[in-house]
Chains A and B, each alone.
Chain A
Amino acid sequence: MRRLLAVAALAALLLSGCGIPDDTRVTVVGAGPSGGAGPREDQIQSVPNPREAASDPRQLLTYFLEAAAGDPDHAAERVKAFLAPSARAGFEAAGPEIRVIRLKGDPVYRPSNQQFTFYAQTVGTLKSNGSLEPAAADPNGSAQYSVEVGPVAGQSGYFVLRPPPHRVLLLSDTALNDFYQRRTIYFWNNENTALIPDLRYMPGSIPSAQQPTTILNWLVTGPASWLGDVAKPLPNNTQAPENVPAVTNDTLSVTLTPQAAPAGDTKALDRLRRQLQWSLLRPDQGPQTLELKIKGQDPVRYSGQDYLVSNPADRLVETPQRFAIFNGVVHRVKSPQAGDPVPALRPEDNKNIASAALSTSATHTFVAVVTAGKNGKLRVGSAAAGAQATLHDVGLSGTLGRPVWAIAADGGPQGAVGLITVNGKLYSFAPDGSAAVQVDWQGEPGAITAVSVAPDGCRMAVVAGGRLYRATLDTSGDTVALSTPERLFPPLFSQVTAVAWSSETYLAVAGASADGQRYAVVDVSVDGALSYVRLADVGGEAVTYLTAYPANPTSHRENADAESYETAGAAWYVTSVPAKIPASDLVGVPANPPPGQTPTAPFFLF
């Protein structure tokens, strides 16, 4: 019996010895994954100068006004690094938002109290999502800032001894230009018919490999506030849970949470990928394939350039068809299509015209003309491509401005919306000649003198009361609605007279310069912060009308090649110097035109 017990105990002991061990030795399974071996360099575009680099107080001030540029999360730290230790404790930024200012004149340095004093215009607020919101306050009088700069005992270099009392992060507009890249991201409009561009500022300190992730996060947080009425954010609670990995295999891989596109909704998925492709890819460089992973769904790869059609701005051609009016008749300006007739306009209608607008969709051409004379009339019509339109009178009376076609939708003869100013008010009209409807304008900005609609059909720039505004146009309802306009503060101008879209992100603006005597044509970013002077001085005559054929976004040019303006009854090209459009440039104009008659009202076929 004891032997039996012993055997049973032995068996139990053996059995208890087996099972999963408590601890084992380290077992090498295999070599680790390869790839990414050795450090690689990624050029960081541009980083603001550190405090230590400043060699004199003025340079330090310049650098101080650059310091906020870069990653918005650490902007306050960078600014703090400029402050003297005694000032750091009391400094608290009001948030990650940065006030962009434009200096008026050089700062004045008073060595006696080590103080800089300068005036600056507030351009807007750079949000952490990269969008710049124009300042809401009326900055007629520029604010005064004073900064104390000097050395600190025991430490090398200069410090900001006392920061400006406003306790905000300041950024000069030049720093905005130097240390940020302008990137356009896209959102669908409410009808899901077109992508709306949204200008963002990408800090130059973000390595290019991390930029897609940043862009994706911008997309997830939604469009800029001024586009909120017309641009659709990604579906609620959509998140980008992962970084966008470095490009491998010519592919950019994007991961989104399941809310981004419900499983099975192929249309939503297709829209999403087009939005992402427009926002992340460039058709001529970088990765060409997008891999879209939505959690819970199989990843899909998209390559090719079929996405380009989703942005109406992609229809913009390299060489636009230009027209001008000579002696009441619409003529082509010389171009490769010089032999073609003026589209859609019947020859018998092509007379006594003061201004005109032409727009094409895939199937139709839309015409709007304003007849000359004291009682000018607006006549509109549409025709299938290649056919000629019957014009209908739109019952409008008063001083008619220049008509523009805001939208030329594909699919039918009625899918277009036009805008025109009548007696300083804005009216919308349809191609069937039905009665024009006044578009409500909130606030009392004064008489509207110029209107321009971006190729996307939603964003518009308006000149009213000599000021520049931007707004969005909502055509989805029965009537055309205008959002509350935001005033832009472009540099140089004391008064704005004309505006046109120069690209997706820039406006061509004409107006009187600061002294109010000379006029200039300047391209201004859509938020008014940055400027690019096209013509610094076009003379003392007021620029009454400006038109431009925007640059195609795939060309990455931010400014239009083709811009024309009208001043004192004559049409001019915008080139390096002002150049009058000669009658000889027009097709079908006799070789010796009667004197006193010049081409007027230049326009483009959109």
Chain B
Amino acid sequence: MDFIHFFFVSTLLFVIGVGGVILNRTNIVVVLMSLELALLSVSLNFIIFSACLGDLTGQIFAIFILVIAACESSIGLAIILVYFRVRGSIRIDQASLLKS
């Protein structure tokens, strides 16, 4: 089994996820989705390495990452809700009130 191919897939997913956060110009919910994609790719990474090494630590790490990802997305949605209630839109370009 050539584990390096699986590693390329998950790294590609990670790069797409982080790129989605950085290169996004319009929608905040798209940022949240990209964050979830990146977390999922790291979780996949841990499971691949756990299968490659025969160690159980990676799978335990992956379960904890799943749980934290769920909690983080719920808090993120709550913050987006508060922001939307105050500002009236979810465009990121307009989030520049705090610039000096």
A and B bind? no
B residues touching A (Cβ–Cβ < 8 Å)? Answer: none
